[in-house]
Amino acid sequence: MSFLKLAESLTPEAYEALKRGVELGKWPDGRLLTSAQKQICLQAIMLHERRKPSEERSGFMPKKKEDCLKSPEQQKSELPAQVIASDNA
């Protein structure tokens, strides 16, 4: 079986175990992942996720809806009046 077919046929449990292993840097039994194992796991995760919608993939970053570089005055003017009142109390 090719690596691609293996990665695409991962069960949800195996997929989550690989993701968790990469996140924590260790297998469920506590053994540390080597650098090579992390690379292989990441490749398998990415290949498995390629059939998912982009917003469900690991590392997905949504597009910015608006400019996040606002002055403190602009940010404060957008807050509800209750929040501003509690800050001044």
Q: What is the pLDDT of residues 21-78, one digit of tens each?
A: 999 999 989 999 999 999 999 999 988 888 777 777 776 777 777 666 667 777 777 7
Does the pLDDT at position 89 exceed 60? no
| Confidence category of residue 87, pLDDT binned at 50, 70, 90 | low
Q: How many CB atoms lie within 10 A of CB 70?
A: 12
Predicted structure pTM score: 0.61
Q: How many CB atoms lie within 10 A of CB 45?
A: 21
Contacts of 54 (CB under 8 A, 6+ apart): 60
User: Which pLDDT tens digit goes with each residue over 52-68?
Assistant: 777 777 767 777 776 66
Within 10 A of 26 (CB to CB), how many other CB atoms are there?
A: 13
CA proximity to 44, closest of 58, 54, 34: 58
Tell me if 48 sits within 8 A of 8, measured CB to CB. Answer: yes
